[in-house]
Structure 1
Amino acid sequence: MSVTHPRRRGARRVAAATAGLAAVGALVIASPTAQAHETHHGGHGHGSRTVDLQLLAVNDFHGNLEPPAGSSGRVTELQADGTTKTIDAGGVEYLASSLRTARQGQERSLTVAAGDIVGASPLLSGLFHDEPTVEAMNKLGLDVTGVGNHEFDEGKDELLRLQNGGCHPVEGCYEKGRKFKGADYPILSANVVNEKTGRPLLKPYTIENVKGVRVGFIGVTLEGTPSIVTAEGVKGLKFLDEVETINKYTKELKRKGVNAVVALVHEGGFPASSAYNYDCDAGGSGTGLSGPIVDIAKHTSADVDALVTGHTHNAYVCTIPDPKGNDRLVTSAASFGRLFTELDMKYDTRTHDIVRASVRGSNHVVDRTQNKAADMTSLISRWQTLAAPVAGRTVGWISQDITRAGNESALGDLIADAQLAYAKTLDPSATIALMNPGGIRTDLVHKASGSEGDGVVTYGEGFAVQPFSNTVNLRTLTGAQLVTVLQQQVSGSNEAAPKILQISAGLTYTLDLTKSGAARVVTDSIRLNGAAIDPAASYRVAMNSFLSGGGDGFGELAKGTGELVGGDDLAALNAYLTANSSASAPLAAPAADRITIVQ
């Protein structure tokens, strides 16, 4: 059930020696019971019983090889005077330099990830089914990753191909004479099992051995994955409880003499501040973080030394008490390679365990002022050449940034309008379109990097916004069902973290966030083209195939009748941009005034 991986450090050290120094900011958190240990770095001599161990961690990279654009490519930094500033960050050329610099002088260093390394990726990676990102992670020196929900976007067979190698079963090899080799690192899926056999899809854990220090890593993804990916993507799989799974394999590792254990958990939390260097423990341990990961951390075995997490795309380094009441670090490095987490700790060579009180954590900015890693530049250039015939095609023009920010976003409105326009070509009776916010991956930026002119929207930029290859489908809902759908945004599984659907022009209503649950939707405010929704009437509603299957907790949508499966959602967006904009008359951002927010 496990594999021990010898260290592959020679090439990494050469690369580190030539990397530019990273300009990074950091927040350092330590257990309040931390004690100083006299050690002799990298050795056991002179009476020392501890050695230094460094873990570097990323999460939710999502194939962002090139620097992400707009707000997706910035982090917020808290300043000493209480103000904040934003920093441009991310891009694998800079991430590689940052990690290689961080490893300098470290005899024992491991690089790990907490899932969603691939999936929902920009065109440069997504067009090639994320082979470029796996190649980049191999060069980066990634040692192990947990599995995230987006690794299932194309189904389990494609995930297995990314691990084991081989050319795409439909598109074949992308370069003559070059066969995709797969990931050098294990992708762990301890709680993802075959529903018939109960066996894990991939290895549940790995034991990494770096110069005599043995660390067990257990990888899990959120149990609720089936509700946020397409049903086809997880067909035949069962997702088990995260805590029970981690605790089970922690015991197995201990039976094998591995006492140092780290959980890679693709589930996350919500810090009290959006600043990456906010002091999460300013009010005491366990006070600065909320969300699902808190409960997971509180119940995960005290034999687990740290939890590296993800999924929510937030940045935090927080201490949360374990079941024995001892503080334990829980970390996340935001998303898209904009940050990385550094965990420094002591490993006791007699107990073969991590000294919990020694564990210190910090998040660092992947600053774009540092030198680029030449091997990553070469990798990007190679894949850009292959993608160029598709990526650079102009599909429209915009007069300003059109962003996904807010409960109702300008970009969300634009996509909903595009889907409704397309749906009307399939069925003229279509009157409403709904778009899930999680399906909008980045902004449309008026002035993006590269050689394009201001306002030009390329196919590659549109792909970055909607990379899932969903179809635009139609279902018939009663007015009563439509009300239920709107209530499902803020109730049930979505009550704690609402998922506000983006809506097409003509549909309006009030959302009162001062209330709780379904009552947040003011039902008598719901109008379509000024007329109240009739509970008994039928409405033809457009949505993507993910929503049509009940994804994101919208089970009522799946109950709609008369499903009609249309074409690609990105094609619908591109067609709308082409039809409604030109170089001389670029498209402005919608007003985002369809939902009245009370808060």
Structure 2
Amino acid sequence: MFTLTSRHIAATVVCTLATGALLSAPVATAQTTDDPSADKITLLNITDYHGRISASRPSTVAFADTIETLRAEAGADSSLLLSAGDNVGGSLFASAFREDQPTIDVLNALGLASSAVGNHEFDRGVEDFQGRIEPAADWDYLAANVTVDGVPMKEYSLHEAGGLTVGVIGVVTEETPTLVSPSGMVGVEFSDPVDAVNRVAARLTDGDDANGEADILVAEYHEGGPAAGSIEVARAESEVFDDIVTRTAGSVDAIFTGHSHHVFAWEGERPAAAGTGLTGSVDRAVDVVPGGSLGSLTGSLGGPVAEYPATRPVLQAGSYGGHIGRVTLDVDSETREVIGFTQENVAVPSSADGADLSNPVVADVKQIVDATLAEAEVVGGQPVGTVTGDITTAYSGDSRDDRLSESALGNLVGQFLKDAVADRGGADIGFMNSGGLRAELFNDPADQDGNITLAEANEVLPFANTLVTLSLTGEQVRNVLEQQWQPAGSSRPFLALGTSDNITWTFDPTRPAGDRITSVTIDGAPLDPAADYRVAAASFLAAGGDNFTEFAEGTDVRDTGLVDSEAWPAYLAEHLSEGIAPDFARSAVAASNLPGTVQAGQEYSFTLSDLDLTSLGAPTTESATVELGGASLGTFDAVAGIDDVTFGPAAHVTPLDGRVDITVTIPAGTPAGESALTITTDTGTVITVPVTVGAAALTPAG
């Protein structure tokens, strides 16, 4: 005989019924319970830590102190520290220069219990993960939706907390093959993460002790939602996130997410058949079929009915150790069902001031950090470059790394890629993926010997990609620009490319997919669809990473032998004395009603939008001057603020900042043929719009 709890029956119903619920849906209760007899389990969660060994922004010691404080509040025996993945990779120099061993040491010291595998754990390939990272970690790395040469990776781990068994299931984004170098992932297969969680959840709640059982189930998804004000909006914007929230088995009590670097703590509804409130025992298994019954039971199902929430926590703790997610589950001491929960994201202080160094764990972390930073300062403290102003990624509010938007730093790195290969066959265009920019170039006026150190340079491009050149036709270049709009279901709907300063383009976000790019110019000349262009990119992007699959169709692919982590500091060093000034010119602007064929003497009106970058220090466009063939056609005042007029509200994936409405008359006597309108803003953006000037109409004789 075995005990059939409400969780076991619920799992059977969820996995067997296609529609409807044979048993009653869970009773909706308040999010929290005041039941003093309830057991409490506290789940502390981090995600996307990315080797943040640092004295500030935030402090690694403060990170450890916050975790220990929360653990003490919960009771060490009633809490678990978990992670949603990307613990390493894309790391600060202090961790990266020692292949992330300092980060692994810190997380070992903190007693990380288990973690989902993140895509960045595969940055150097599956062999590196299994041969270097996984053996060094004292915690369990979980990837229930991954097989290597047909062999499943570890799917779940079981932990005792507060007298209960907590089952943790880990999965990684199905997009991983597009996010890492394909050459290191031969033989690795990824499946649907929600299906994998549900399969393992069913196993851990089927009443068979031989294949593992758990009282509490936790899903760690290295996949996340978009920035949004509510769970409803986030679900509407992301099919992947909607799938996680709505389709994860009701037997899962808490959902932690990651990957998208956002901070949220929401309630998500459990599937209708998630709980039954039934407890009792039977002496045989029960098969549940649609439209059927439970059959005759020789045991009893008349035990106490547990009321537990119809909702569950869905939480993401941002990135870089800036927040610790905390979910406290109230668990009925008899039925072992969750009857309430609280959740929050706890901010980590920027500095270690006030950290409790009498705590042996915090003291241990401080020793690791101090030794690592001291060594990193010697190795990485030498100045390699100077910037005369902050050069940063795009910002969304106070948050860096807005990958949906063009940035000053992305364009600088795009230019670096083009320039760096000049003596290795050369390139016409440089492209940089926004996700590869992991830190900023900040101006420190007090540092007279160069305000960018080797460590700071390395932190911008920490992945040690090789620099690759390849040939794309003009049509393929256009396709690359179109692929900034990501495939349906991607964790981010758009990924803005950084580019060298000689390519500009216009787009119309209201046009259908594949037809949004409305003009492209290179070195001021229209893109020739049939011509070949030499392109420079990091090996990750050149292999088709981030869903830019058009790169993988390129020809004459050459590895230049340069590594970005070496070539990039050398590039900055070329400007050590005079410094690099931030360039806030845009490569891309949204355009409406662009003229194609024009006639001398005729008037034409069009609008350019999204004129302003959101990188730190970027100015607001105030005016734009229009020329045709060197002749000025006028200067026009720009309109500051979000443009939701030209294309309608929410036409693009990000707000369109700033616009200029232009009306010009093509001068009489303008020669017929190919020409271009050149629009130059006072912030340095230069957009060239190819036009064809029609032949003048003949004047009738007589």
TM-score, structure 2 length as denominator? 0.68
Distance of aligned partners of 1:158 and 1:371 in 2 relative to their CA distance in 1, 3 Å threshold: farther
- Residue 311 (structure 2) aligns with: 327
State whether structure 2 residue 453 is matched by structure 1 residue 471.
no
Distance of aligned partners of 1:164 and 1:152 in 2 relative to their CA distance in 1, 3 Å threshold: closer
- Residue 232 (structure 1) aligns with: 183
The structure 1 residue matched to 2:368, chosen from 379, 383, 391, is 379
The answer for unaligned runs of 5 or more in structure 2 is: 1-27, 274-309, 356-361, 396-404, 591-608, 610-655, 657-702
Count of residues paired in the alignment:
504
Residue type of the partner of 2:532?
A: S
- Residue 197 (structure 2) aligns with: 246
The answer for unaligned runs of 5 or more in structure 1 is: 1-30, 40-47, 74-89, 166-181, 274-279
- Residue 41 (structure 2) aligns with: 53
- On the 8 A contact 1:94/1:367 being kept in 2, the answer is yes
Greater displacement, 365-374 / 587-596: 365-374
The structure 1 residue matched to 2:571, chosen from 576, 591, 596, is 576
| Cα displacement (A) at 1:235 | 2.0
The structure 2 residue matched to 1:184, chosen from 138, 163, 173, is 138
State whether structure 2 residue 483 is matched by structure 1 residue 488.
yes
Q: Distance in 2 between matches of 1:119 and 1:478?
A: 33
The structure 2 residue matched to 1:267, chosen from 220, 223, 229, is 223
| Cα displacement (A) at 1:163 | 5.2
- Residue 169 (structure 1) aligns with: none
- Residue 587 (structure 1) aligns with: 580
State whether structure 2 residue 375 is matched by structure 1 residue 424.
no
CA deviations over 1:349-384 (Å, ceiling 9, x no partner)? 3233333xx111101110135424433222112223
Residue type of the partner of 1:404?
A: T
| Cα displacement (A) at 1:287 | 6.8
User: Secondary structure, in 3 states, of the residue corresponding to 2:316?
Assistant: strand
Distance of aligned partners of 1:408 and 1:545 in 2 relative to their CA distance in 1, 3 Å threshold: same
Residue type of the partner of 1:435?
A: M
- On the 8 A contact 1:57/1:341 being kept in 2, the answer is yes
Residue type of the partner of 1:434?
A: F
User: Secondary structure, in 3 states, of the residue corresponding to 1:386?
Assistant: helix
User: Secondary structure, in 3 states, of the residue corresponding to 1:128?
Assistant: coil
| Cα displacement (A) at 1:578 | 1.3
Greater displacement, 510-519 / 226-235: 510-519
The structure 1 residue matched to 2:434, chosen from 413, 432, 437, is 437
- Residue 16 (structure 1) aligns with: none
CA deviations over 1:160-207 (Å, ceiling 9, x no partner)? 244554xxxxxxxxxxxxxxxx2221111111112x33x223x21011
CA deviations over 1:545-577 (Å, ceiling 9, x no partner)? 011111111111111111110111122322221
CA deviations over 1:466-525 (Å, ceiling 9, x no partner)? 011101110011111111111111153569611111110110011333445333322xx2
- Residue 81 (structure 1) aligns with: none
Residue type of the partner of 1:225?
A: T
Q: CA RMSD in A?
A: 2.3
- On the 8 A contact 1:490/1:520 being kept in 2, the answer is no
Distance of aligned partners of 1:162 and 1:353 in 2 relative to their CA distance in 1, 3 Å threshold: farther
User: Secondary structure, in 3 states, of the residue corresponding to 1:405?
Assistant: coil
- Residue 614 (structure 2) aligns with: none
Q: Distance in 2 between matches of 1:286 and 1:495?
A: 11
- On the 8 A contact 2:470/2:536 being kept in 1, the answer is yes
User: Secondary structure, in 3 states, of the residue corresponding to 2:266?
Assistant: strand
- 5 Å-filtered alignment, 1:334-349, equals 334-349=318-333
User: Secondary structure, in 3 states, of the residue corresponding to 1:332?
Assistant: strand
User: Secondary structure, in 3 states, of the residue corresponding to 2:515?
Assistant: helix
| Cα displacement (A) at 1:452 | 5.8
Detail structure 1 runs of 4+ shifted over 4 Å in the superposition: 284-291, 451-455, 493-496
- Residue 549 (structure 2) aligns with: 555
State whether structure 2 residue 162 is matched by structure 1 residue 221.
no
- Residue 179 (structure 1) aligns with: none
- On the 8 A contact 1:294/1:320 being kept in 2, the answer is no
- Residue 511 (structure 1) aligns with: 507
Q: Distance in 2 between matches of 1:105 and 1:204?
A: 30
Residue type of the partner of 2:33?
A: A
- On the 8 A contact 1:145/1:187 being kept in 2, the answer is yes
- 5 Å-filtered alignment, 1:143-154, equals 143-154=113-124
| Cα displacement (A) at 1:139 | 1.2
Give the share of equivalent positions with the same residue, in percent: 33
Greater displacement, 251-260 / 234-243: 251-260
CA deviations over 1:32-81 (Å, ceiling 9, x no partner)? 73353322xxxxxxxx3x2111111110000001056xxxx4xxxxxxxx
Residue type of the partner of 1:123?
A: F
Residue type of the partner of 2:180?
A: V
Q: Distance in 2 between matches of 1:586 and 1:294?
A: 47
Residue type of the partner of 2:418?
A: L
Distance of aligned partners of 1:537 and 1:289 in 2 relative to their CA distance in 1, 3 Å threshold: closer
Distance of aligned partners of 1:287 and 1:414 in 2 relative to their CA distance in 1, 3 Å threshold: closer
Distance of aligned partners of 1:496 and 1:341 in 2 relative to their CA distance in 1, 3 Å threshold: closer
Distance of aligned partners of 1:528 and 1:388 in 2 relative to their CA distance in 1, 3 Å threshold: same
Q: Radius of gyration: which is bigger?
A: 2
TM-score, structure 1 length as denominator? 0.80
Residue type of the partner of 2:139?
A: Y
Greater displacement, 480-489 / 285-294: 285-294
The structure 2 residue matched to 1:115, chosen from 85, 106, 111, is 85
Q: Distance in 2 between matches of 1:35 and 1:543?
A: 52
- Residue 200 (structure 1) aligns with: 152
- On the 8 A contact 1:445/1:455 being kept in 2, the answer is no
Distance of aligned partners of 1:513 and 1:386 in 2 relative to their CA distance in 1, 3 Å threshold: same
Distance of aligned partners of 1:331 and 1:237 in 2 relative to their CA distance in 1, 3 Å threshold: same
- On the 8 A contact 1:57/1:333 being kept in 2, the answer is yes
| Cα displacement (A) at 1:292 | 2.1
State whether structure 2 residue 347 is matched by structure 1 residue 365.
yes
Q: Distance in 2 between matches of 1:139 and 1:487?
A: 46
User: Secondary structure, in 3 states, of the residue corresponding to 1:351?
Assistant: coil
The structure 2 residue matched to 1:295, chosen from 225, 238, 243, is 243
Q: Distance in 2 between matches of 1:374 and 1:324?
A: 47
Distance of aligned partners of 1:285 and 1:253 in 2 relative to their CA distance in 1, 3 Å threshold: farther
- Residue 70 (structure 2) aligns with: 102
State whether structure 2 residue 59 is matched by structure 1 residue 66.
no
State whether structure 2 residue 31 is matched by structure 1 residue 34.
yes
CA deviations over 1:224-249 (Å, ceiling 9, x no partner)? 11011111232221111101110111
- On the 8 A contact 1:115/1:146 being kept in 2, the answer is yes
Q: Distance in 1 between matches of 2:447 and 2:236?
A: 42
CA deviations over 1:143-162 (Å, ceiling 9, x no partner)? 11111000001122322244
- Residue 679 (structure 2) aligns with: none
User: Secondary structure, in 3 states, of the residue corresponding to 1:301?
Assistant: coil
Distance of aligned partners of 1:495 and 1:124 in 2 relative to their CA distance in 1, 3 Å threshold: closer
- On the 8 A contact 1:271/1:289 being kept in 2, the answer is no
- On the 8 A contact 2:32/2:341 being kept in 1, the answer is no
Q: Distance in 1 between matches of 2:447 and 2:131?
A: 35
Q: Distance in 2 between matches of 1:297 and 1:453?
A: 52
The structure 1 residue matched to 2:443, chosen from 434, 443, 446, is 446
Q: Distance in 2 between matches of 1:150 and 1:392?
A: 26
| Cα displacement (A) at 1:291 | 5.5
- On the 8 A contact 1:489/1:499 being kept in 2, the answer is yes
